[in-house]
Protein backbone atom coordinates (compact mmCIF):
# COMPACT_ATOMS: atom_id res chain seq x y z
CA UNK A 1 0.00 0.00 0.00
CA UNK A 2 1.50 3.37 -1.07
CA UNK A 3 -0.37 5.65 1.29
CA UNK A 4 -2.39 5.58 4.46
CA UNK A 5 -4.10 8.09 6.73
CA UNK A 6 -2.04 9.10 9.75
CA UNK A 7 -2.96 10.96 12.94
CA UNK A 8 -3.26 14.76 12.64
CA UNK A 9 -4.16 14.67 8.95
CA UNK A 10 -0.69 13.59 7.70
CA UNK A 11 -0.48 11.09 4.86
CA UNK A 12 2.40 8.75 4.16
CA UNK A 13 3.17 8.28 0.49
CA UNK A 14 6.12 6.19 -0.77
CA UNK A 15 8.24 6.55 2.40
CA UNK A 16 7.55 10.30 2.68
CA UNK A 17 5.06 12.07 4.85
CA UNK A 18 2.79 14.46 2.96
CA UNK A 19 2.35 17.66 4.98
CA UNK A 20 -0.92 19.54 4.46
CA UNK A 21 -0.97 23.33 3.95
CA UNK A 22 -0.29 24.23 7.59
CA UNK A 23 2.36 26.98 7.91
CA UNK A 24 3.07 26.35 11.60
CA UNK A 25 3.65 22.66 10.99
CA UNK A 26 5.95 23.39 8.05
CA UNK A 27 7.98 25.91 10.07
CA UNK A 28 8.29 23.37 12.90
CA UNK A 29 9.66 20.77 10.50
CA UNK A 30 12.05 23.23 8.87
CA UNK A 31 13.33 24.44 12.27
CA UNK A 32 13.86 20.84 13.31
CA UNK A 33 16.06 20.03 10.33
CA UNK A 34 17.72 23.41 9.80
CA UNK A 35 18.34 25.09 13.14
CA UNK A 36 18.79 22.40 15.77
CA UNK A 37 22.15 21.98 17.52
CA UNK A 38 22.90 18.66 15.87
CA UNK A 39 22.24 19.98 12.34
CA UNK A 40 24.18 23.26 12.61
CA UNK A 41 22.22 25.65 10.37
CA UNK A 42 22.53 23.85 7.08
CA UNK A 43 22.31 25.94 3.94
CA UNK A 44 19.50 25.83 1.40
CA UNK A 45 20.63 22.76 -0.54
CA UNK A 46 21.40 20.57 2.49
CA UNK A 47 18.21 21.58 4.29
CA UNK A 48 16.14 20.84 1.19
CA UNK A 49 17.82 17.45 0.72
CA UNK A 50 17.25 16.29 4.27
CA UNK A 51 13.65 17.58 4.51
CA UNK A 52 12.83 16.08 1.10
CA UNK A 53 14.10 12.74 2.35
CA UNK A 54 11.26 12.45 4.89
CA UNK A 55 8.57 15.01 3.94
CA UNK A 56 6.78 16.38 0.93
CA UNK A 57 4.48 19.36 0.39
CA UNK A 58 3.63 21.69 -2.45
CA UNK A 59 6.23 24.43 -3.04
CA UNK A 60 8.73 22.69 -0.76
CA UNK A 61 11.76 24.20 -2.55
CA UNK A 62 10.36 27.72 -2.39
CA UNK A 63 9.48 27.50 1.30
CA UNK A 64 12.87 26.04 2.24
CA UNK A 65 14.61 28.86 0.34
CA UNK A 66 12.49 31.50 2.10
CA UNK A 67 13.05 29.89 5.51
CA UNK A 68 16.85 29.78 5.08
CA UNK A 69 16.87 33.35 3.71
CA UNK A 70 15.00 34.57 6.82
CA UNK A 71 17.16 32.67 9.32
CA UNK A 72 18.87 35.39 11.37
CA UNK A 73 21.79 33.19 12.46
CA UNK A 74 22.54 32.20 8.87
CA UNK A 75 22.44 35.81 7.70
CA UNK A 76 24.83 36.96 10.45
CA UNK A 77 27.53 34.43 9.56
CA UNK A 78 26.84 34.17 5.86
CA UNK A 79 29.99 34.18 3.78
CA UNK A 80 29.89 36.54 0.85
CA UNK A 81 30.29 34.78 -2.48
CA UNK A 82 33.14 36.32 -4.42
CA UNK A 83 35.09 35.37 -7.47
CA UNK A 84 38.72 34.61 -6.86
CA UNK A 85 41.08 37.51 -7.44
CA UNK A 86 43.04 35.77 -10.18
CA UNK A 87 46.67 34.84 -10.40
CA UNK A 88 49.26 37.02 -8.73
CA UNK A 89 51.38 39.09 -11.06
CA UNK A 90 54.97 39.36 -9.95
CA UNK A 91 56.78 42.68 -10.02
CA UNK A 92 59.78 42.62 -12.35
CA UNK A 93 63.10 42.47 -10.50
CA UNK A 94 65.50 45.32 -11.39
CA UNK A 95 68.91 44.39 -12.76
CA UNK A 96 70.91 47.16 -11.08
CA UNK A 97 70.98 48.87 -7.71
CA UNK A 98 68.98 52.11 -7.64
CA UNK A 99 67.53 51.38 -11.08
CA UNK A 100 64.01 51.36 -9.58
CA UNK A 101 63.21 53.31 -6.43
CA UNK A 102 60.10 54.14 -4.47
CA UNK A 103 59.64 57.35 -2.55
CA UNK A 104 57.09 58.12 0.13
CA UNK A 105 56.44 60.82 2.73
CA UNK A 106 55.62 60.45 6.42
CA UNK A 107 54.02 63.69 7.53
CA UNK A 108 52.59 65.23 10.70
CA UNK A 109 55.38 64.24 13.08
CA UNK A 110 56.46 66.21 16.14
CA UNK A 111 58.90 68.99 15.22
CA UNK A 112 62.55 68.50 16.16
CA UNK A 113 65.41 70.98 16.64
CA UNK A 114 65.67 72.02 12.98
CA UNK A 115 61.86 72.29 12.63
CA UNK A 116 61.60 69.14 10.51
CA UNK A 117 58.15 67.56 10.90
CA UNK A 118 58.16 65.04 8.05
CA UNK A 119 60.32 62.26 6.67
CA UNK A 120 60.96 61.33 3.05
CA UNK A 121 61.52 57.58 2.71
CA UNK A 122 63.46 56.40 -0.35
CA UNK A 123 63.77 52.64 -0.98
CA UNK A 124 65.84 50.81 -3.57
CA UNK A 125 63.64 48.06 -5.03
CA UNK A 126 66.50 45.62 -5.62
CA UNK A 127 68.56 45.81 -2.42
CA UNK A 128 65.80 47.20 -0.16
CA UNK A 129 68.24 49.82 1.13
CA UNK A 130 66.25 52.60 2.79
CA UNK A 131 67.13 56.25 3.30
CA UNK A 132 65.14 58.39 5.73
CA UNK A 133 65.49 62.08 4.95
CA UNK A 134 64.18 64.74 7.37
CA UNK A 135 62.10 67.41 5.61
CA UNK A 136 59.56 70.06 6.51
CA UNK A 137 55.91 69.81 5.55
CA UNK A 138 56.19 73.30 4.06
CA UNK A 139 58.84 72.22 1.55
CA UNK A 140 58.05 72.72 -2.11
CA UNK A 141 59.08 70.33 -4.88
CA UNK A 142 62.35 72.23 -5.40
CA UNK A 143 63.24 71.87 -1.72
CA UNK A 144 62.56 68.13 -1.77
CA UNK A 145 64.60 67.85 -4.98
CA UNK A 146 67.50 69.61 -3.25
CA UNK A 147 67.34 67.25 -0.23
CA UNK A 148 67.05 64.25 -2.55
CA UNK A 149 70.01 65.31 -4.71
CA UNK A 150 72.15 66.15 -1.65
CA UNK A 151 71.51 62.80 0.04
CA UNK A 152 70.46 60.12 -2.44
CA UNK A 153 71.99 61.19 -5.70
CA UNK A 154 75.31 62.03 -4.10
CA UNK A 155 75.50 58.62 -2.38
CA UNK A 156 73.96 56.39 -5.02
CA UNK A 157 74.03 58.27 -8.32
CA UNK A 158 70.27 58.25 -8.94
CA UNK A 159 67.88 60.99 -9.96
CA UNK A 160 64.74 62.37 -8.36
CA UNK A 161 61.35 61.78 -9.97
CA UNK A 162 60.36 65.40 -9.32
CA UNK A 163 57.86 66.89 -11.74
CA UNK A 164 59.86 70.00 -12.58
CA UNK A 165 60.24 70.77 -16.26
CA UNK A 166 64.02 70.45 -16.15
CA UNK A 167 63.91 66.96 -14.68
CA UNK A 168 61.14 65.87 -17.05
CA UNK A 169 63.28 66.86 -20.00
CA UNK A 170 66.31 65.21 -18.43
CA UNK A 171 64.38 61.98 -17.79
CA UNK A 172 63.06 61.92 -21.35
CA UNK A 173 66.60 62.40 -22.63
CA UNK A 174 67.92 59.61 -20.38
CA UNK A 175 64.93 57.35 -21.18
CA UNK A 176 63.84 57.15 -17.52
CA UNK A 177 60.20 56.18 -17.01
CA UNK A 178 57.86 57.79 -14.46
CA UNK A 179 55.67 55.39 -12.47
CA UNK A 180 53.58 57.43 -10.02
CA UNK A 181 51.16 55.64 -7.73
CA UNK A 182 48.52 56.56 -5.19
CA UNK A 183 49.17 56.80 -1.47
CA UNK A 184 48.52 53.84 0.84
CA UNK A 185 48.87 51.30 -2.00
CA UNK A 186 52.37 49.79 -1.72
CA UNK A 187 51.36 46.88 -3.94
CA UNK A 188 51.44 49.30 -6.88
CA UNK A 189 55.23 49.73 -6.61
CA UNK A 190 56.81 48.60 -9.82
The model's pLDDT over 129-184, given as tens digits with 9 standing for 90+, comes to: 899 988 888 888 778 778 887 887 777 665 544 445 545 654 565 566 666 565 55
pTM (two decimals): 0.41
Phi, psi of 64 (to 5 degrees): -65, -45
Q: Is the predicted pLDDT of residue 60 greater than 60, yes or no? A: yes
Mean pLDDT, range 93-118, rounded to an integer? 83
Q: Is the predicted pLDDT of residue 64 greater than 80, yes or no? A: yes
Domains of the chain: 3-76 (1.10.340), 101-188 (3.30.420.10)
Amino acid sequence: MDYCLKAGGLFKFRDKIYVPDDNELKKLILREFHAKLYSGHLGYQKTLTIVNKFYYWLDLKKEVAEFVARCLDCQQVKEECKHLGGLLQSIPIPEWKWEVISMDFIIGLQRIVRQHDSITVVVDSLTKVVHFLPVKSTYLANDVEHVFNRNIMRLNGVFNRDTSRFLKELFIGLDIEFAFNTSCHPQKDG
